[in-house]
Every structure is written in structure tokens, then in C-alpha cells.
Chains A and B, each alone.
Chain A
Amino acid sequence: MTLSPQEDGETRDTPAEVDAAFRTQRRVALTYFAVFLVVVAVFPLLSTSLSWWLDSRLIGDLSPGFLTVAVGLYAVFAAIGIAAATLSSSVESQMLGSQGDQRAEESGPGAEAGAS
């Protein structure tokens, strides 16, 4: 079965498009991964370098150190996840499938109704 130009644009990506998107995605993933590593590695450093980290009291009378492992790090992980997923999906939407979208626009709204 051969696909129409519009279907072909919507169901296939070109190698150049994918390569560009891949490079951007790799940059996004590595940047957020570096942030993740820093967040995890900084705890032992703070424990020894700042007495405030274990001695002072914040929310619920917990020290910043205890609060971090009890609640804070999970919130940070979720925040990293939400930010990275949003950015990655946005990169994919903008960099991939544009050929199909352009063709769909050129064909006009009637084409979509015809396809369905």
C-alpha cells in the first residue's frame, strides 16, 4: 500500500529531522541528569560543611537535612521529571512531524475531514 503525501508526512520522519531532534533531546537529558547528580551528591557535603544543615529547625521542627531525605528530594525528583518531560515533548512537537503539519495546512481543513 502506498501512502498519500499527507499521510507519508504524518507517519514518517526524515533522518535529518530525527537527528536534529535527537541531538536536542540528548542535550536536555544530559543537562537534567547533571542537575539530578548534583542534587544527590550535595547532601553529604552539606552534612559535613554546614552545621546549620543538621542543627537548625525548619518546617515541622525538622532539620533541613532530615527534611531533605524525608520529603524534599522526592519533590525535587518530581520537579525534574515534570520539567524534563514537558521540554522533551515540546522539542518533539516542534522538531518532528512538521512536514506532515505543513502538508496538512497546505491541503486545508477539508483534507483532515476527508482522511477521517
Chain B
Amino acid sequence: MTTTAIITLVAVLVIVLGVSVITRPRHSSTVDFYLAGQRVGVATNSWAICGDYLSAASFLGVAAAVYVSGLDGAWYAVGFAAGFVPVLLLVAAPLRRYGEFSLADFLGRRLRSDAVRLHSVGVVQLVILCYLIPQSVGGGITWELLVGHGLFGLSPYSTGVLLSTAVIAVLVAAGGMRGTTWNQAVQFLLLFAALLWLAAMVSADGFRYGEAVDSLSSQPLLNPEFTEGSWELTQEQNAVDPGTPAVFGEPGARYGQLGQVALVVTLGLGTAGLPHVMNRYFTAPTGRAARTTTVWVLVLIGIFYALAVMMGTAARDIIPGASREHAWLDELTEDGVLRVPEHALPVLGRIYGDEAGLGLIAAAALIAAMSTVAGLLLASAATWGHDVYERHINPRATQRQAVWVGRGSTLIAAGAAAALAIALRPEAFTPAMPSLVATMVTWAFAIAGSALTPVVVLAIWWRRTTAAGALAGLISGATLSISMFLGASFMEASPLRELMAAPTLVAAPLAFLLTIAVSLRTQPPTDVESDWLIMHGTAADRQAERVADLTLRQRRRGKEDRRAR
């Protein structure tokens, strides 16, 4: 371990521990622990949502996918960024106005059904697990690169997985939503700064985007493959124009036309069903604030993903030349091409900033993984502690008991994710998938977008939605999406495989139609009008704004009085 690595790790720990201590929950209430008292402002919440959302899949995975597949890899970035458009248009403001603790609780209360709540909890946990594992993988990969040594007889990868997951699990269990919010906000700003620094360094070194894409596109796209005990470069085939080689700057290196659309729809619709992201909306003071927050998020993540795509291109362009000058690249590359594409950004960091540059990018990658893990663990805590324990197992639980159950479930979910991440080593997948980290996250988006999003959108916009209809949508969406992406793992490359690997294009419409069909045959809950007044009215927003305004005036008046004395 180098001095730089030690300094980097200590700095990351000091930042997250410091923020957690300063912002620790002041009361042992569930609203404080899970929702940060519902007083998170627009700027803070938009940074925190970005920190929550921009995971290792976004930081390491998008650049890796572009590195491996060129333009086709950029579809990950497009899909991730697209996700907040449906959130803004269809979900953010009404969901916040309804003001529950979690997506499962929202559906359970809106449809007056414990069965809906419990089934939602099951789907939410599946999404969380699929999302948690790749974040832990990201932590392991980063530790492997940054430190290169294991502790207590473990491999460097396993040590990274266990340490990063354990640290953030303890912080979330202690800090709750308040600490996590500030941690995620600070972590996003650090992550953004690291990417900006890398973009500035690469540009200052003479990187020209258009020339790089042109140069990379002048030859067939080659990627390393581990076959018969050794690495070899193999030529990627064009999926849009079969029989021709794929090139970096044109579609076809990974997906056909159907695959492109299927991937973007899967990622785009999935965001509205991601529990850790949607739970953040409950922390906004009003529905209008939730909407404004989403606009800020759209702008910030747009800039972030544009930079990530640029860095993936830069890595592909720069690393072959750099491998002739830097001997340390020999063990990471095959003829100048990285064996593990997730190494693209850390390697660029080391090329331009030596050990300190590697340390900065590795710290950013760790931060990206940790901030998302924090959100996921908190979402898991909310579903177990509030939706299951408080609502079903012990309805008479004190606030303190419910919070402690949430803390306990945080540690259990973290343990499960770390164990699975260790079992799934990234080399086992690469390069069969464009990027392991991004691919596994796609599964989470697929389940969320196929099962939760259709039901949540209908519950918000269609009065006739019933509990039976929602159950049909949840079960069919989850079952079909899982069957499809698991089935795709055993298929040869084809348009059908692409559709099955990103199944929301099929599964979400089916879940949507089933929810409608079953709802039309069953009795809707009574008193839906009161729900409509809450979700689509703005009385509570106006009241909250008025109270905030009065509080501000009183503070100002108090200050003026003190000055006058």
C-alpha cells in the first residue's frame, strides 16, 4: 500500500465519518431516521439524489461500457439520464404529497391493502439486492487497484468488498437519513469534482474528442477475451450490420436497433421504481420542491454522464499509447487494451496524476459505491423496519424499537450483498458482458421498471386502480423480467437475446395492461377522492410554504429585536 493510497482512504473515511457525526439524528423518531425530518432543501436534496443515483455503475460502469463498446456503451448513460424524465413527469410531486415512508408504504396505503404492501416489499428487496451487489463489486475492484493487498488472509478484492460495505453499513445504521443525505450530497460534489479534474487533465494533454472517435473508428473494435488459459484480442461483430466488424463510433458493437431501444426503456422506466431514489423524494418539504429538485437532478446528471462518455472515449484513445511508456500497465492490458474495462477511469487517473491521481479517482469510485450503498441500505431499513416490523410484526412498537429494527436490517442487507459480491468475481463475466457493474445494475432497473413503475404510475394517475390489479402487475412484472434476463444469459447473441436482457420493453406494458384488466374486474377502494386531494392538490404545499415563510419572518424579527436591544 502506498502513502497516497493510505492518505486517500483516510481522507474518504474522515469525510464520511465527519459528516455523519455532525448530522447524526437528533431524535429517535422514524420520521427523523428514515426521512431526515422531511426538511431537506432543493439544492441539498438534488445533490443527495445525484450521490444516491450515481453509483459505481455510473462512475466506473458507464466509462467502462463506452471503453468496450464505443457508441453502444453510451446507451447506458442515455438510459440512466433518461430515467428522471418519467420521474419528473409522472411521479415526483404526487408521490411526495402523499408523504409515506417508502414505495411499499405508498402503494399499501393508497390501495388499502397489506398484501400489496408486502408484495411491494418483496420486489423492493429484490431491486435493492440486485443494485447492492454491483456496488460492492465496485468497492472490491477499487481496493484491488488502489491498495493491491488483502487483510486477514483475504484477497484484495474481498477485502475491498467487505471493508467498503461494512463502513457504510455502520454509518447508515448510526446516521439514518439525515446523515446519509449530507454524506450523499458531499460525496456527489467530490465525485463530480474528480470527473471534472480528469476531463480537464485529459483535455489539457491535447485530447480531441472528434479526432479520437474518428481514429478509433478507423479500425475494427478489438477487446481482450480469456480463452484456454490466456488473454487474446478478439474482434467485435456488428450487431446492426451482421457479417461486418463493429467500430467504436457507430452503433452495433453491442446492440442491434431493438437492443438499443430496449436498454434505454429499461433504464429509463426503472428509475421511477428504484426504492432508494424514490424514498429520497419523501424527504422534500413539499411536492413542488420535489419537482424542482428533479429538474436540478436532470441538469446535474446530464453533465455528469456527458463527461463519463467522454472519459470512456479518452481511455480507449489514450491507454494504448500510454502502455508503451508505463510498465505498470502491462499487467492490466492486452496489447494496450484493458482486460477489466472498469479500470478505465482509475488508470487514466494514474496516467495523469500518478499515485495521487489514482488515489483521487479511486476515492471517487469508492465514494460513488458507498453513497449508493448508503441509500440502498436505508431503503432496505425503511421497508423492513417500517413496512414489515412496524406495520405487521409489532404495530405497537415504539419509535425507538422501529429505528433499531431498521438499523439491524441495514447490517443484514449489507452482509448479504458483500457475500454475493465476493462469490461473483468480475473476471468471471468480463468480457461476456459490456460491463459487469453496469449489467447487474440493469437487472435492478429491469425489475423496478417492470414491476414497480407501472403500478406506481397507475396508482397516481388512475382512480380505478385496485389492490388486486396492483398485485397482478407487481407479480407479473417481476416474474417476467427476472425470467427474461436470466433466460438471456443462456442465449447466443441475437435481437431476441437483446430484448430479453433488457426486458422492460415487454414486461412493463404487460404489467401495465394486467393491472388495468384486473382492476376493471374488481372493486376500487372507497374514498379515492381524499387520496386525489392529497396527491394532486397543493393545499399541503401551500401550508408548508406558509409555515416556512412565517418561521423565516419570525427569525428575522428575532434578529432585529436582538440588534435593537
Q: Is A116 a contact of B538 with CB atoms below 8 Å?
A: no
A73→B83 CA distance, assembly (Å): 12
Q: Which of B85-93, B325-333, B428-436 contacts A (4 or more CB under 8 A)?
A: B85-93
For B, the interface residue count at a CB cutoff of 8 angstroms equals: 59
Q: Is A44 a contact of B309 with CB atoms below 8 Å?
A: no
Q: Is B533 a contact of A47 with CB atoms below 8 Å?
A: no
A75 CB to nearest chain B CB (Å): 7
A71→B313 CA distance, assembly (Å): 13
Judged by a CB distance under 8 angstroms, whether B251 is at the interface is yes
Q: Is A44 a contact of B86 with CB atoms below 8 Å?
A: no
A44 CB to nearest chain B CB (Å): 4
Interface contact tally, CB-CB below 8 A? 152
For A, the interface residue count at a CB cutoff of 8 angstroms equals: 51
B314 CB to nearest chain A CB (Å): 12
Q: Is A40 a contact of B265 with CB atoms below 8 Å?
A: yes
Residues from 80 to 116 in A contacting B, C-beta threshold 8 Å: 80-82, 84-85, 88-89, 92, 96-97, 100, 116
Judged by a CB distance under 8 angstroms, whether B282 is at the interface is no
Q: Is A70 a contact of B90 with CB atoms below 8 Å?
A: no
Tell me what chain B mostly uses at the interface: helix, strand, loop, or mixed: helix
Q: What B residues does A33 contact at CB under 8 A?
A: 85-86, 89-90
Judged by a CB distance under 8 angstroms, whether A52 is at the interface is no
Q: Known A15-B533, A44-B261, A48-B240; judge A96-B538 contact (CB<8 A).
A: yes
Q: Is A47 a contact of B291 with CB atoms below 8 Å?
A: no
A28→B303 CA distance, assembly (Å): 26
Contact with B along A1-39 (1 / 0, CB 8 A): 000000000111101011101100110110011001000
Q: What B residues does A88 contact at CB under 8 A?
A: 93, 291
Contact with A along B56-76 (1 / 0, CB 8 A): 000000000000000100110
Q: What B residues does A97 contact at CB under 8 A?
A: 538-539, 542
Q: Is A85 a contact of B303 with CB atoms below 8 Å?
A: no
Q: Is B537 a contact of A13 with CB atoms below 8 Å?
A: yes
Q: Known A77-B302, A92-B538; judge A32-B71 contact (CB<8 A).
A: no
A66→B305 CA distance, assembly (Å): 14
Contact with A along B269-285 (1 / 0, CB 8 A): 00000000000000000
Judged by a CB distance under 8 angstroms, whether B397 is at the interface is no
A73 CB to nearest chain B CB (Å): 5
Q: Which residues of A contact B (CB under 8 A)?
A: 10-13, 15, 17-19, 21-22, 25-26, 28-29, 32-33, 36, 40-41, 43-44, 47-48, 54, 57, 60-63, 65-66, 69-71, 73-75, 77-78, 80-82, 84-85, 88-89, 92, 96-97, 100, 116
Q: List 18 A-B contacts (CB under 8 A).
A: A10-B539, A10-B543, A29-B89, A29-B461, A36-B85, A40-B268, A54-B250, A60-B210, A61-B208, A65-B250, A65-B251, A69-B74, A69-B75, A70-B209, A74-B306, A77-B85, A78-B295, A100-B542
Closest 5 pairs between A and B when the two form their complex, measured CB to CB: A61-B210, A74-B302, A13-B537, A44-B257, A69-B74
